[in-house]
Amino acid sequence: MRFYSLLLLGTLLLAGCSEIISESPSVEPEPSFHIFQAPDVKLFEMSKAEVSAFFKANETVRQRGDEIIKSAGSWQDAHREMADLLQSKQGDAMSPARQILAARMLEERLLQAPESEAKLQALSFYTSILLEARNPDASILLPALEQLKDHWSGEKVAEAVAATRERAQVYLDNNRSLLARVEGCAKCSAQNRASFEGAEAAQANRVAQIDAALAGV
């Protein structure tokens, strides 16, 4: 049971990180951390084959979604393919891959796109996925909800904002120690600084973004 729990934790943590490829081949890609609300999966009740299938399905969706985001020529093309992919997985509302891809579509493709009714419909689709999963990433959800304030009812937006702020605060409270350790490592050894590179530093950056979003910065 403990083995399966640790395996799930490790896999999900890895699933939370994606790479944003730089236009310049001489620059190392910066890791980007996206939060997911961990699924309530009772691994100890599953066979080894079922556990393997769970991880494989999540990774398959994540990899396909990554290809879509990177290769699609426009947000419309990305949305058309991504919506087909995620709608085929509607029964797994808490899937880490489903949440991460919805967050990336919002952050990387939609939030900065020109205003249109089609954009608002797409924005609504991915925002709803994150809200359904009780995702706490206020740095993505609050800007999305701001853009949806004339597309959704005032009551629906207000409820979503309140829930997002509450979940984000819990996430911050649970992760401030990580942010403090990374920020406080300016004078630490090279070995210790190296431990904050990559995914951990990217997660600390996300914590800082959520903190700023709650503060209205």
pLDDT tens profile 49-93: 888 888 888 889 999 999 999 999 999 999 999 999 998 865 565
**What is the share, in percent, of the chain residues with pLDDT greater than 70?**
73
Say what the pLDDT of residue 102 is: 96
Alpha-carbon distances, residue 72 vs 64, 140, 143 (angstroms): 12, 21, 23
Reported pTM: 0.79
Q: What is the pLDDT of residues 175-185, one digit of tens each?
A: 888 777 766 66
Tokens describing residue 47 = 């066979």
Q: What is the pLDDT of residues 156-200, one digit of tens each?
A: 999 999 999 999 999 999 988 877 776 666 556 555 555 556 677
Write the burial class of residue 61 (CB in 10 Å: 0-12 exposed, 13-18 middle, 19+ buried).
Answer: buried
3-state SS, residue 33? strand
Residue 192 structural domain: 2-215
Tokens describing residue 135 = 């995702």
Total count of domains within the chain: 1
